[in-house]
Amino acid sequence: MRQSTRCWLLSNRNKIPFAVYTIICLLPISLFAQKNLPDSLHAYFTREPIKVDGKLSEHAWDSAQKIMNFTQRELHVGQPATEKTEIAVIYSSNTLYVGIWCFETSPEKIRAKYLSRDFAFDNDDNVKIALDTYKDKKNGFLFVINPNGARFDALISNNGDILNPDWNGVWDARTEINDKGWFAEIAIPFSTIRYNNQSDQVWGINFERNIRRKLEQDVFQGYSRNYQVEQVSVAGTLVDIKNIKGVVNWELKPYLLAGAEKLQGTSTSFLKNIGIDVNKNILNTLRLNLTVNTDFAQVEADKVQVNLTRFSIIYPEKRDFFNEGSGNFYYYLGEGNQGFYSRQIGISNFTRLPIYGGARIFGKLDRTDIGTFSIQTKEKDSIPSTNYSMLRLKQNIGSQSYVGMIAESKYNKLGSNQMYGVDGQYSNSHIFSDKNIVMGGHLSMTNTDSLPEKHNLAYRAFVDFPNDLIDNFIGFVTIQQNFNPEMGFLQRKNFKEYSWSMRLAPRWFENAGIKRMNFVPWDFAIYTNDTTGELESYYNEIRPFGFTTKSGDVFEFNLQQSYDHPGHDFNLTDTVVIKSGEYHMHAYEFQLSSYQGRKLFGSIIFNKGSYYGGHKRTIASEAGINFNKHFNFVVDYINNHVTLPQAIFTTHELSGNFVYAVNTKWDNSLFVQWNSEIDLILFNFRLHYIPKIGSDFYFVITQGFNHNLKWENSTQTTGVLKLVYRIAI
């Protein structure tokens, strides 16, 4: 199944109508109002010390306004919530506090299986908080808490279209479960978030409560099924935050690292390093990051994937330094291609390159989103010391739209590379009362010392209509043969691409336990060679039948057609070569997955069809057990059996992730993976302890083996201790 091109990964929202006329004809125009009065919440100022313990026993909570007007989005849209929820906001000079009362008629049925930071919140009861601190209806912060006190956070950009879950903010939470329900107390320092430099703050705010045993979703504002809580354009209003004085001006995060490493055929080398990150808020709305002798030893291991295509695979960014404020640097080229891809800095072929240091400024100045940085890497082996610099601006227009620009530069003694571009986007989340529409595009060019300054453009245009009943997308992308963004990521180049995808999700057979049907009349992409105009490849998927049950299970049956005309031979594996030529391929696919909130859960995908003159059968499976809130594990296995005229081979990709969380501040994880194509068996153990909020201690052991799994054949053994300590001034 072709993946959506929407960033980090997280939902299927980038689909566009084939014509406005079709939308008008097919969509029932919703006339009900989305405002749920009261739609504003008054924050209460207190000088009373607040103990964050989940008991909500301070007098300030009794004096604060509580909202309790929650409406169902699921399962019965527009109906009152079946369980009582109350939320209040109080604040001191330096901290925002959120009090949450989740009453339960059946408290023994509360679902809470996780304790770890950044838990899988979709599987637990939870409350989400979306804060639009600029009140620009585009950007914000997402905080999620479950009944155990496990925390999840993310940065919101482009009105929820871009969600960065790898950001880890400085905030704390405690919860309590009793015979009346579960209750939470959350403390968010004002230094964690950014806001306008005004004495009286007016923010957007929204809340969502999820009751998993009922598959119920209750929201404060924007209860239409076309909306998500991350769409801050439909949020309510938080008022009466005045004269905040306790903002942290300087944040110091020194680190100390010690360890040892032994590579196959070499003697043991000792690792030691120190460095520091310095953060300063500028005018509350901008943040300055300085980094010296940057190190990324705490990063979890990448899952190395088997790639049976002729195109590159993109891997997610896991480094905190690049994740904070990542939405300010985002520049999308279309069809999985990125104008800026931070893993081009400090990582080369999964090897980390040392960084001397760098500086970043990101945030908002009036109605302009700003992101700029300059970073210098050290020389390593044949890779010279390199400077990476970038400027990204987005000028907000209206309530949800923008125009923007980008300039990038990469320079070292071997040469230089630059990229320049302009982009824009029109968004409206209230078309036909409660529908979403997005239109936009970009025009970009690059200059590379080693390439001619012609045929070096890229451009894109798209229209998107991402809604509950009809999810529809049309796009056009061109990347010319000399377009070469060395700070970005390209899956392919020298092509024109035309795509059109439509999904229909009617709410049929609800009395039979079906939440929604899922039909895809078409989801195609056509690629032509930009130089010759010849057809290069196409892909189409039809889903004649699919559904999601009210219990959270999903079934799909898909039919896939594709064509590929590689202009030259390419290596499918190290030993198998696909000859240039024309290949017509067809496949059918079944997908079945169970709800992951159960104690036992799993999924399976079966795909079989023709493949480059032969046949390919793929079985992808997942199985997991939620033993309790402390111990959970998931195992994934992908098997490809390929029969070609020139070869018959089988690939295996096995991974397991075992997590034991002692409490919300201490978790241990073991990640194991086996990839038959590169003969790699990797063990990665990580202990993560949070001595205080904002500080981290890591103990990491990584071992790699070939298929023999013998100690003496270890390809790599690394052990690292690292302490990062936060000092606020």
Per residue in 274-295, pLDDT (tens digit) is 989 898 888 778 889 898 887 6
What is the reported pLDDT for 33? 40
- Tell me the per-residue pLDDT of 592-633, one tens digit each, with 9 for 90 and over: 999 988 889 999 999 999 999 999 999 999 999 988 899 999
Distance between CA atoms of 441 and 443, rounded to whole angstroms? 7
What is the CB neighbour count within 10 angstroms for residue 44? Answer: 18
Indicate if the pLDDT at residue 399 is higher than 60: yes
What is the reported pLDDT for 22? 39
Distance between CA atoms of 530 and 5, rounded to whole angstroms? 21
Q: What are the backbone angles phi and psi of residue 48, rounded to the nearest 5°?
A: -70, 130
Distance between CA atoms of 704 and 681, rounded to whole angstroms? 6
Distance between CA atoms of 159 and 140, rounded to whole angstroms? 8
| Sole residue written with tokens 């999700």 | 505
Confidence of residue 636 (pLDDT cuts 50, 70, 90): very high
Indicate if the pLDDT at residue 48 is higher than 60: yes
Q: Are the C-beta atoms of 318 and 168 separated by less than 8 Å?
A: no
- Tell me the per-residue pLDDT of 31-41, one tens digit each, with 9 for 90 and over: 334 567 789 99
**Residues with Cβ < 8 Å from 25, sequence gap 6 or more?**
none
Q: What are the residues facing 167 on neighbouring strands?
A: none
Indicate if the pLDDT at residue 716 is higher than 90: no
Alpha carbon dihedral 105, 43, 324, 672, in 10-degree steps, equals -20
Q: Are the C-beta atoms of 637 and 653 separated by less than 8 Å?
A: yes
Give the amino acid at 436.
N
- Tell me the per-residue pLDDT of 323-344, one tens digit each, with 9 for 90 and over: 778 889 999 999 889 999 998 9
- Tell me the per-residue pLDDT of 81-102, one tens digit each, with 9 for 90 and over: 999 999 999 999 889 999 999 9
Confidence of residue 103 (pLDDT cuts 50, 70, 90): very high
CA angle 547, 549, 554 (to 5 degrees): 55
Q: Provide the pairing of β-strand 44-45 with 151-157.
A: unpaired
What is the reported pLDDT for 246? 56
What is the reported pLDDT for 678? 79
Alpha helices in 371-411 (DSSP H): none
User: What average pLDDT does range 220-230 have in this prediction?
Assistant: 92
Confidence of residue 709 (pLDDT cuts 50, 70, 90): low
Q: Are the C-beta atoms of 326 and 345 separated by less than 8 Å?
A: no
> What is the 3-class SS of 659-701, one letter each residue?
EEEEECCEEEEEEEEEECCCCEEEEEEEEEECCCCCCEEEEEE
| Tokens describing residue 267 | 């003697």
Indicate if the pLDDT at residue 408 is higher than 60: yes
Indicate if the pLDDT at residue 456 is higher than 90: yes
What is the reported pLDDT for 299? 55
Peptide bond connecting 38 to the previous residue in cis, omega within 30 degrees of 0 = yes
User: What average pLDDT does range 301-319 have in this prediction?
Assistant: 76
Query: What predicted TM-score, i.e. pTM, was given to this entire model?
Result: 0.84
CA angle 349, 354, 358 (to 5 degrees): 115
Distance between CA atoms of 33 and 297, rounded to whole angstroms? 51
Confidence of residue 431 (pLDDT cuts 50, 70, 90): confident
Q: Are the C-beta atoms of 396 and 158 separated by less than 8 Å?
A: no
Indicate if the pLDDT at residue 348 is higher than 90: no
**pLDDT, averaged across the chain:** 88
What is the CB neighbour count within 10 angstroms for residue 442? Answer: 23
Confidence of residue 248 (pLDDT cuts 50, 70, 90): low
- Tell me the per-residue pLDDT of 413-427, one tens digit each, with 9 for 90 and over: 999 999 999 999 999
Regarding predicted confidence, which is higher, 434 or 177?
Answer: 177
Distance between CA atoms of 491 and 595, rounded to whole angstroms? 33
Closest CA to 662 of 625, 630, 693: 630
What is the reported pLDDT for 617? 98
Indicate if the pLDDT at residue 30 is higher than 60: no
Q: Are the C-beta atoms of 497 and 539 separated by less than 8 Å?
A: no
Q: Is the dihedral of CA 241, 244, 249, 251 positive or negative?
A: negative
Q: 487 in helix, strand or coil?
A: coil
Q: Are the C-beta atoms of 4 and 13 separated by less than 8 Å?
A: yes
What is the reported pLDDT for 196? 83
- Tell me the per-residue pLDDT of 522-545, one tens digit each, with 9 for 90 and over: 999 999 999 999 999 999 999 999
Distance between CA atoms of 709 and 329, rounded to whole angstroms? 42
Distance between CA atoms of 153 and 8, rounded to whole angstroms? 14
Indicate if the pLDDT at residue 10 is higher than 70: no
What is the reported pLDDT for 438? 94
In order of 14, 70, 721, 722, the CA distances from 272 in angstroms are 45, 53, 9, 10
User: What average pLDDT does range 488-509 have in this prediction?
Assistant: 95
Q: 399 in helix, strand or coil?
A: coil
Question: Which region among 116-120, 357-361, 711-715 has the lowest average model confidence (pLDDT)?
Answer: 711-715
Q: Are the C-beta atoms of 311 and 335 separated by less than 8 Å?
A: no
Give the amino acid at 567.
G
| Tokens describing residue 623 | 């199985």
Question: Which region among 90-99, 177-186, 392-401 has the lowest average model confidence (pLDDT)?
Answer: 392-401
Percent of the chain residues past pLDDT 70, beyond the cut: 92
